[in-house]
Structure 1
């Protein structure tokens, strides 16, 4: 670690000294600071250090890109500075002091959805695989493979794969139909409430006693089961796969628990706080918040769906594809998770899985950012320091994580960022015009094709080619124009 002593000492001085550091931690490749006064940091001097590959500021954190040796650098930095590192959660909490109310809201939403995303990715891949098994007719009446449209699927001709397909619905159903359980748990986890109560609240939203949400639209008048209280009746409707009702219910539980903790004596709080908080949350969820949340979710998804399926869908796609990357910078992109899930719910039927046209554009934007970085690698073949940052960022973006690519390379150079935005916009237009919908949220990069029905692989591959070629070429063109000025 002695090789980092000089740079660590200089970094301490250049960020404004020990007194300017509120907290510090590190992730896989970056030092993450919360500074009392960001203006005291000498960014140009910091980026000139041999160990530093770049810097950026996001969500109230000043992040310094070190690379794969960041843990060693961090240990040397904390030893020299005498500053004790903190957890990532503490850094996030401290960083909120540097955020406005909108950034705080988006940060909270991001932290609610982040723990759920791995499950959604797994579910998307499972649905994609099941679609190949049961939805693609690739065999004729004799059970022979055909390149033309056949009459039988894999599940029709193979008992084994039919069993596999049937079995795989077990985890897929748990992920998507019971999504409200994950959301209410994540809300209570994020807000510091009792997590088991959040889980139980979520279960009450998807209980088998209730009419499945997917069956409500097709239910005949008078056939919806009800709770009969004599003076009034309440429909027994489930909220399978519903996002907004679950979030509203989760927040209600959190604030009710906080309220009752304040007014109920400690000696009996263990009994009465969870009792009143959970019972009232369940009542409010099924009488007020569930129906309201359903309407809000439907309204949002209807507006987005109308834009994606109207005569001007190409314009909607062009604008979204162009501005999605700037949304990532602001943190507002996290709200698209809920919209995607609402779109899938809205287009689903009792016999057919729903799709979303929004998520494919997000995957294509990620690919476009990676392609622009790839072009900078091509342009700077002799620059070892640039390649050390750019190549991992390029790979990361193509696998669905764009922050290293954007903040480490594209935003700093500007013209690759613009090239990626243009390529993303053109790819998004093609994706939407060809109605290339994904079965679920999946891996947001090149592996994302697994989240699509097989019949849409072709159009998504073409969209990916657009997202790869256009930003790469434009980055080179823009760089030449910049050199000629």
Structure 2
């Protein structure tokens, strides 16, 4: 029996049973479970699950907040429920029935699609980026030989995390589209072969193939897998069933690879360049505006599960230009502000000893990057306190925008333990110092503003009590 056995058993019960589950996936900190019938879900029961920090209802999706050990919870609920994509495939159409198709619906739809595609890849990028930061620090400040074996092994780990992005994304996107995941990875691997990747003078059937460096690219393989999806759908209709096992994958690759190399790949590369240039321009030109807005809005984006809609921007920028000056620091600032506000609540006079210890733990955990316990267990029940959190996020965002803070690693749970995210690609600490300034401003302003709000509320409450006591009976 694992830590999440009881939680998984109760979750399945309160979700309406395995037969009511349409899809199960997870992001960095929470399980994301799509259900068939909303009326069969016991939200109050889910809120009391052991080893969870709360529940968020997002139209047809239930999000159970776990924290950094979400992988363990996911594996346990899959094992206990014996749920499978194939066994529940006939229920897929029910996902379209919930909620009006307004702007929010489309944003949620996009976020729910992007999360399972990018989130499995993010750990590789985090590890690769942090390994490169450590390597560069050792070369710059410890004297490690840049051409030595250790430096080369560390560099290889970094390259494995980024260069093979077309393979990783091909796999996860194909899985999302209910295709054979290996076919998406196969298509991505084709782009990276030494006979195609960045090779000049190539042609197919007499048609010239542009020379393109596909390592660490994102959009070409995404467009290619979407094209493959429609090719496969067509082939399924025209290939006899007794030939489909061999003929479908063969014909799919024969059709998709040339079109990917001649048309889709070059278009995707140009589009990637345009997107990257626009994001860099946005960060450089209006960063002092975008940073505070995004930082202040980030907790609510996380609450609604739509923060994953911005993951693609960060991953794209880090993979193509090497850093993110637009979305990279919003989670860092937001998490610190939530932690500071929780610590301010923990130090108020109206909180009893047991709550002080719990809220202090929530605050420290949030400062280290995991904010759900603090946000749901401490702040959200005190709406005025969130004003202090927002003021800190706006202040930190303004400083980050004015000083040009850049993140060189995207994903995970940014906080006081992840300053390596801001070590640049040459191992310099310039942006680390900026991040430290931003962190100090965010924490101080959030803590002070929250403390002032709580103090004023206590004084108002005390004054109101005195007035009521002085009134004649």
* Partner residue, 1:400: 369
- Given the alignment of the two structures, is residue 450 of structure 1 paired with residue 425 of structure 2, yes or no? no
Question: Quick one: distance in 2 between partners of 1:53 and 1:452?
Answer: 29
Query: Once the 2 structures are TM-superposed, how far is the Cα of residue 12 of structure 1 from its aligned partner?
Result: 12
Question: Quick one: distance in 2 between partners of 1:39 and 1:197?
Answer: 37
- Given the alignment of the two structures, is residue 287 of structure 1 paired with residue 262 of structure 2, yes or no? yes
Q: CA-atom RMSD, angstroms? A: 4.3
The answer (yes or no) to whether the contact 2:340–2:447 under 8 Å persists in 1 is yes
The answer (yes or no) to whether the contact 1:321–1:426 under 8 Å persists in 2 is no
* Partner residue, 1:57: 57
Question: Quick one: distance in 2 between partners of 1:438 and 1:53?
Answer: 28
1:221-259 Cα deviation digits (max 9, x unpaired): xxx713235753221323211112221222222332233
**Total equivalences in the alignment:** 423
* Partner residue, 1:192: 178
Farther-moved stretch of structure 1 (401-410 vs 163-172): 401-410
Query: Once the 2 structures are TM-superposed, how far is the Cα of residue 423 of structure 1 from its aligned partner?
Result: 1.5
Question: Quick one: distance in 2 between partners of 1:386 and 1:191?
Answer: 47
1:119 counterpart (120, 124, 142):
124
Farther-moved stretch of structure 1 (276-285 vs 34-43): 34-43
Farther-moved stretch of structure 1 (398-407 vs 168-177): 398-407
SS for the counterpart of 1:359 is coil
Question: Quick one: distance in 2 between partners of 1:49 and 1:115?
Answer: 25
Question: Quick one: distance in 2 between partners of 1:259 and 1:386?
Answer: 62
Instruction: Give the 3 Å change call, closer, same or farther, for CA 54–247 of structure 1 in structure 2.
Output: closer
1:73-125 Cα deviation digits (max 9, x unpaired): xxxxxxxxxxx956597799777754634322210110111211111110121
Alignment of 1:83-482 (within 5 A): 85=81, 87=83, 98=98, 100-134=105-139, 136=140, 138=141, 154-155=143-144, 158=145, 162-212=148-198, 225-229=200-204, 231-310=206-285, 312-347=286-321, 354-357=322-325, 358-379=327-348, 381-382=351-352, 384=354, 388=358, 390=359, 393-441=362-410, 443=412, 444-453=414-423, 454-482=429-457
SS for the counterpart of 2:408 is coil
Question: Quick one: distance in 1 between partners of 2:116 and 2:275?
Answer: 21
SS for the counterpart of 2:407 is coil
Question: Quick one: distance in 1 between partners of 2:148 and 2:301?
Answer: 42
TM-score computed with the length of structure 1 as normaliser: 0.73
The answer (yes or no) to whether the contact 1:180–1:243 under 8 Å persists in 2 is yes
The answer (yes or no) to whether the contact 1:211–1:225 under 8 Å persists in 2 is no
Question: Quick one: distance in 2 between partners of 1:337 and 1:270?
Answer: 36
The answer (yes or no) to whether the contact 1:370–1:393 under 8 Å persists in 2 is yes
Unaligned runs of 5+ in 1: 1-10, 69-83, 139-152, 213-223, 348-353
The answer (yes or no) to whether the contact 1:201–1:282 under 8 Å persists in 2 is yes
Question: Quick one: distance in 2 between partners of 1:49 and 1:235?
Answer: 55
